[in-house]
Amino acid sequence: MADKKMANGSGNEVCHDDSSSPIKAQTIDELHCLQKKRSSPSTPIDSSPGGVSALSEEDRQRQQLQSISASLASLTRETGPNVVKGDPARKTGSSKVAHMAQHQLVPTINISDSSMKFTHVLYNLSPAELYEQAIRHEKGSFMTSTGALATLSGAKTGRSPRDKRVVKDENTTKELWWGKGSPNIEMDEHTFMINRERAVDYLNSLDKVFVNDQFLNWDPENRIKVRIVSARAYHSLFMHNMCIRPTDAELANFGRPDFTIYNAGQFPCNRFTHYMTSSTSIDMNLARKEMVILGTQYAGEMKKGLFSLMHYLMPKREILSLHSGCNMGKNGDVALFFGLSGTGKTTLSTDHNRYLIGDDEHCWTNTGVSNIEGGCYAKCIDLSREKEPDIWNAIKFGTVLENVVFEEHTREVDYSDNSVTENTRAAYPIEYIPNAKIPCVGPHPKNVILLACDAFGVLPPVSKLNLAQTMYHFISGYTALVAGTEDGIKEPQATFSACFGAAFIMMHPTKYAAMLADKMRKHGATGWLVNTGWSGGRYGSGSRIKLSYTRKIIDAIHSGELLKAQFRKTEVFGLEIPAAIEGVPSEILDPMNTWSDKGAYKETLQKLATLFKNNFETFTNYKIGTDNTLTEEILAAGPKF
């Protein structure tokens, strides 16, 4: 009995726990090594379909690092830095030997400090690894109560369009839109190289850089390989979410990128450099396939810089690039949604009865539509679970929250707080949206919906457009918002943005409009102008059209029922309006019926028509093709008074 008691641990001798075998580590460091294991590729690493890769893992790693070193090469020294994979905070002697490389075109003559040091490359890190880097090393980075990474973008909390430059050379002089109304501000090749050298030297001076190799465009036939070199984990995680994430097999065979971004946003440009107007400069060189960012840490510059690139590359392949939302019904009917801020584009394109292809950037190819991106970039100001449940639920581990304010102890975000900026944002992978269609592709669109928030209250809730009218209103890119009371302005302010994204287009707006009309004609798509703004008077006297009515209108467009309605033309704009829509009061379909003062209605209608006409003067002298027929056709579709 005594022996039994001792065996059960009830005796006086020391008890030994023999419930598990001893660990396979002799030191804490060895134990930490056991904690992590290398994951296997999600798909076989083949150099060709069904083949076996001829490269060993070590050779593949070396080639990968040589490619990164070449990207970071200084053009004056013609050598890249010594790059080594891994975090410099983790000292491992063996990794330097196994995973080190230097790109060198000619023997190094001028030795510099930067060429003698190692630049540690943190390559395509996972969100968990990037969280660790951000929270450890980047001040202002925290995990929120829902698991998102909250971070700050520094002094710039939005894009800097006046500091964006494009190299004007022999080709871009002929291909791009320059001059009045254009977003393209020129710089020369020499100035670009000065800024590139400044950015590369800054990145090479750091102990570590983050490198993302990813894709643009879900259409495999027109996929673009992009490399993003940055100094912040925040930027790396942002682009991890916003670009298409490669599989392990795709990454192993990634090769040379089609385009490279050098994000040295923490370092300013030299104000004394030609073409510089501030300490910020975002420079694109289409011939070199490179973009340089200096003096701004706002991550949206990378996203929209790549969108501008697609606005250049895709039309050259006869593919239309679009600043739009896109969804698809259960029967495969696709709709495109265009609209400026405040028009309801996000709300209306997010429909639980339809699949989301994408929320912002798309391509229309010969086979259908494809999302350019791998994520969503949503506004967060005044976000609530009730208004935007999908966005609310997407803000979890892996999501980047920019410039939000949170409670210090609980880390709960206050989305109504604009202490840092009004432009608070969330960047998350598209698969965080429950009804996202993966892969993000669909057939040819059936409907093209142009959204306008008309605060003048004179546009109909919905109008059917012919092709010329679709081009006219697409080029106009109209909405009207109400100025703040602090300005002392009470009248609505008209806003026009060509192609509903003037800041990002590279070629003349009529180029994109002509391509849109051609694809709509070829594939039988119908154009619609939907007013989500005011009815019964302008802002201040009328009332905003109920969202429930707008949803009924959109549903009727999707189902095809609206095409069966009887239509009649309005005066001035010549828009075709339906006589009736189920669930929508018939009297609001003609805006004149809702105004008690018919004279005021006609006066306001004339005023808006004049604003359209004045805005369109920028585009009247552009010739499409060998003659001016199409331009004249578009102009004829405008208001008549």
Catalytic residue numbers?
Answer: 159, 304, 323, 341, 345-346, 360, 425
Residue with tokens 């991106």: 373
> How far is CA 622 from its chain centroid?
29
> Can the peptide bond before residue 434 be classed as cis, meaning omega within 30 degrees of 0?
no
Q: What would the two tokens of residue 64 be?
A: 């990968």
Dihedral angle computed from the Cα positions of residues 179, 184, 189 and 192, in that order, rounded to the nearest 10 degrees: 140
User: What is the sign, positive or negative, of the torsion defined by CA atoms of 498, 502, 508, 512?
Assistant: negative
Under 8 Å between Cβ of 468 and 633: yes
Distance CA 395, CA 390 (A): 9
Contacts of 223 (CB under 8 A, 6+ apart): 215, 216, 217, 244
Task: Please report, for residues 51, 109, 224, the alpha-carbon distance to residue 220 in angstroms, rounded to integers and kept in the order given.
Answer: 20, 43, 9
* Angle in degrees, CA 568, 517, 573, rounded to 5: 35
Distance CA 140, CA 368 (A): 43
Distance CA 487, CA 494 (A): 15
Under 8 Å between Cβ of 323 and 345: no
* Angle in degrees, CA 593, 598, 604, rounded to 5: 105
Dihedral angle computed from the Cα positions of residues 204, 209, 213 and 218, in that order, rounded to the nearest 10 degrees: -120
- DSSP of 137-194: HSTT-EE-TTS-EEE--TT--S--GGGEEEE--HHHHHHS--STT-S--EE-HHHHHH
Residue with tokens 């791998």: 374
Distance CA 383, CA 392 (A): 7
Distance CA 225, CA 258 (A): 5
Under 8 Å between Cβ of 496 and 615: yes
Q: Which one, of 361, 317, 308, lies nearest residue 167 by Cα?
A: 308
326, β-bridge pairs: 336, 358
- DSSP of 100-135: EE--BSS---S--HHHHSEEEEEES--HHHHHHHHH
Contacts of 553 (CB under 8 A, 6+ apart): 461, 462, 530, 562, 581, 584
> How far is CA 262 from its chain centroid?
17
Distance CA 639, CA 613 (A): 7
Under 8 Å between Cβ of 408 and 275: no
Q: Which one, of 359, 408, 367, lies nearest residue 142 by Cα?
A: 408
